[in-house]
Amino acid sequence: MRLRLPAERPAEPPTGYKIAHPVLSQDGTRAGFTGVSLGGALPYGVVAEAACVYGRRHRPPARLCACGFHCLHDRAAAEALMCATDHRGAVLLEISVLGAYIRFERGFRSARQRVRTATVGPCACGAPASALADAGWGRPGWRALAAVCGGCVRGRPALTLVGFARLAGDGLRVVASGGAPGPWAPGGSGLPQGLGVAGVADVPEGLGVPELVAEAALLQARLDWFQTQLARLGERGPGGGGQG
């Protein structure tokens, strides 16, 4: 006799929680996430369909395989994973579990998912994050991003939270932990091609005071960095050598 798992037909997609690293494509035109364990080498978008990481031809989630998108029932359990050293730079994702799924004691393993909200932690200095900057590592074709405040971004390639949500698309919301949400908008702000260090795109209408303050802080930090670089060039003189 072959045992079958009980079938569920929920009226609405179940909600799950997981952690991941935000990533930006090499050309700066796409944003997404990469996992922290199984399947971490395969970045995914806001709405994504799972594939078997072992190369098998079955459809995830297969009962006798570990493939599929993994998530937890409890938000606090997912947040606890971020205490691990390797996961300190991760963000917390709230997702909708889509398609076929297998329910476990602590979570789900599903065929599809939609990332609804990404919660970004504080900057390494402890201040609330206002941007996602190059973290110094990545996957082939993708740069990993880390949370930074306006004072720490300096000259590092970075995206505002609004800019990341705009590139990711599909209604993603990006929220700074302990701060106000950075809502996405079709004309959302961000840096040209996602990684520029000079200039910003048009700021979308409808942003509140906290979002505009974050945008202004990031821009001010960039201006301060440029002024520092110009001052150094001035000290070297027109010929590029030091003044004696």
Give the contacts of 126 (CB within 8 A, at least 6 positions apart): none
In this prediction, residue 28 carries a pLDDT of 92
Interhelix angle 209-236/161-168, nearest 10 degrees: 110
**Spatial separation of the C-alpha atoms in residues 28 and 113, rounded to whole Å:** 23
Residue type, 121: G
pLDDT over 70, % of the chain: 72
pLDDT over 90, % of the chain: 54
Q: What is the pLDDT of residues 130-149, one digit of tens each?
A: 999 999 999 999 999 999 98
Q: Vertex 183, ends 181 and 189: CA angle to 5°?
A: 120
Residue 225 has, within 13 A of its CA and on its CB side, a CA count of: 17
Which stretches of the chain drop beneath a pLDDT of 50?
179-204, 241-244
In this prediction, residue 177 carries a pLDDT of 85
Please, are residues 31 and 168 in contact by the beta-carbon 8 Å criterion? yes
Q: What is the pLDDT of residues 65-84, one digit of tens each?
A: 989 999 999 999 999 999 99
Strand (E) positions, 6-60? 15-25, 31-34, 47-49
Please, are residues 74 and 14 in contact by the beta-carbon 8 Å criterion? no
Please, are residues 31 and 23 in contact by the beta-carbon 8 Å criterion? yes
In this prediction, residue 178 carries a pLDDT of 58
In this prediction, residue 187 carries a pLDDT of 34
